[in-house]
Amino acid sequence: MPHKPLPLAVLIPLDAVLVAGCLLTFAYYHHVKPQVTKADENLLEYIDSLKQESAPDITVQIVDPNETTTVTTTAAENEHTTQTDASGSILTQKTVTGEHEETRHTETAASDTDHSVQSTSGKPGSTASTGKATKSATTTTTTTGPQYDRSGFGAKWPELFSLGDEIEITDTSYRSHDIVVKLNEYTYADSTCHVADFYIRSTDCFKYAFAQDGDPNTYADGLVTGLQENMVTMCERTNAVLAVNGDFMGGRQIGYVIRDGYPWRIEPWNDVLALYNDGVCESFSKAEFDVRAAFSRGIRHSFAFGPAMVRGGTVYSGWSSSHLLGKEPRSGFGYFEPGHYCFIAVDGRGMGGSLGMTADEFAEFCGWLGCYEAFNLDGGKTSQLAFNGNIVNLPDGYNGDRNSLRGMSDIYYIGEAN
């Protein structure tokens, strides 16, 4: 026997009750119930203690690239006290020219100096000498040409960065004292892959931004879901040189959110990639990650969308989750060595004829690039890569107007240190 439909007079109030219930539930979870757990007070105290124990930052002077320096040191006849080893004495002469400090060492043979020898405790083979020099020695050192700043990661690649404050920009590159970016485009697995290869002098250039400028009214007690902003707008207000979409951390209430060494959210969810202050990156499974150990190590940023595509040089594959099996637009972060990284965006869903990649294909591509660590970021419409305020890739639905871009809750970006 068929069921008799409810009278209209009953259906309308019932529908109204259901709609009201849905609205009240939404309002409770989004405006009343805390969206995230605040940073653990014990963890904050632990982080403060680590900061108090840490050594002060070292300020490095920048040498004028056109400077020519001549340093002359003379050991004249005078009373002196020097620290020597068994083979002779070392005279250290320090001169200051402008803001640049030069130190030179002049070695004088033991036979040239009439001195008495006293044993020095604590340093085997070392002696202290006190007496009068009977001979003089003069050493002149002249340095000409470009003087590259070898501070930070510049010690590895001094000639990659600009010599002074000049900035060189093209459609596909950027070069300054602290940042070098080169855009490349590849075709892999029937997909267009945009790779921004970059070097930074220090991790001070590796930054982040939350949607709506991290409004204190919104972020003071944790991260609130739902807040979004256009990537181009975020790049403009942060002066980002290069940016990639982040974890979309506002789309969920779990997953580690550590930015600039502050634990905005400490809730395990998936794989975690840690970027440390010394430029090293390391990935962990959910079970492996120890947040206190990470702060002891000096974690600067966490990446928590995942999963890890490459770990310790090994390409990972074989995922079973539905969102990893399909050919979709993908975004990722790659690590080669301290100071050298890349942002990746893969077009998909037919944009520009690109099909997109499965997670297995994306991991293979990251391995092909040579990444030692690579981490999957949010994809789909969120997959966006920007350079000098312009979108480089073809995100799903993008028509050239920034308003056609999907808003997001966070980005990672590269910007000048100062």
Domain limits of the chain? 69-143, 154-414
DSSP string, 379-398: -GGG--EEETTEE-S--TT-
Instruction: Retrieve residue 416's tokens.
Output: 């000048």
**pLDDT at position 323:** 85
**pLDDT tier for residue 212 given thresholds of 50, 70 and 90:** confident
The residues, ordered by sequence, that sit 6+ positions from 283 with a Cβ below 8 Å of its Cβ are 271, 272, 273, 274, 308, 311, 373, 375
**pLDDT tier for residue 145 given thresholds of 50, 70 and 90:** low
**pLDDT at position 99:** 38
Instruction: Retrieve residue 90's tokens.
Output: 């070392």
**pLDDT at position 227:** 86
Question: Using CA atoms, how far apart are residues 175 and 200, in angstroms rounded to an integer?
Answer: 10
Mean pLDDT, range 272-295, rounded to an integer: 97
Mean pLDDT, range 326-347, rounded to an integer: 98
Question: Using CA atoms, how far apart are residues 148 and 160, in angstroms rounded to an integer?
Answer: 10
**pLDDT tier for residue 259 given thresholds of 50, 70 and 90:** very high
Q: Is residue 171 helix, strand or coil?
A: coil
pTM of the full predicted structure? 0.72
Average pLDDT, the chain: 79
CA distances from 380 to 206, 246, 280, 377 (A): 24, 12, 28, 10
**pLDDT tier for residue 21 given thresholds of 50, 70 and 90:** low
Instruction: Retrieve residue 190's tokens.
Output: 């029937």
**pLDDT tier for residue 139 given thresholds of 50, 70 and 90:** low
H helix intervals, 28-151 = 41-53
Say how many CA atoms lie within 13 Å of 313 toward its Cβ. Answer: 1
The residues, ordered by sequence, that sit 6+ positions from 358 with a Cβ below 8 Å of its Cβ are 189, 324, 325, 326, 327, 328
The answer, yes or no, to whether residue 31 has pLDDT greater than 60, is: no
**pLDDT tier for residue 6 given thresholds of 50, 70 and 90:** low
Question: Using CA atoms, how far apart are residues 245 and 412, in angstroms rounded to an integer?
Answer: 6
Q: Give residue 180's Cα distance to chain centre.
A: 14
Question: Using CA atoms, how far apart are residues 247 and 302, in angstroms rounded to an integer?
Answer: 10
Start-to-end C-alpha separation, the chain = 78
Mean pLDDT, range 102-118, rounded to an integer: 37
Torsion of CA 82, 83, 86, 91, to 10 degrees: -60
- Is 73 or 167 the better-scoring residue by pLDDT? 167
User: Burial, 233: exposed, middle or buried (Cβ in 10 Å; 0-12, 13-18, 19+)?
Assistant: middle
Question: Using CA atoms, how far apart are residues 118 and 128, in angstroms rounded to an integer?
Answer: 5
**pLDDT tens digits, residue range 47-106?**
989 888 765 443 333 344 444 434 343 444 444 343 434 433 333 333 333 333 443 333
The answer, yes or no, to whether residue 380 has pLDDT greater than 90, is: yes
**pLDDT tier for residue 141 given thresholds of 50, 70 and 90:** low
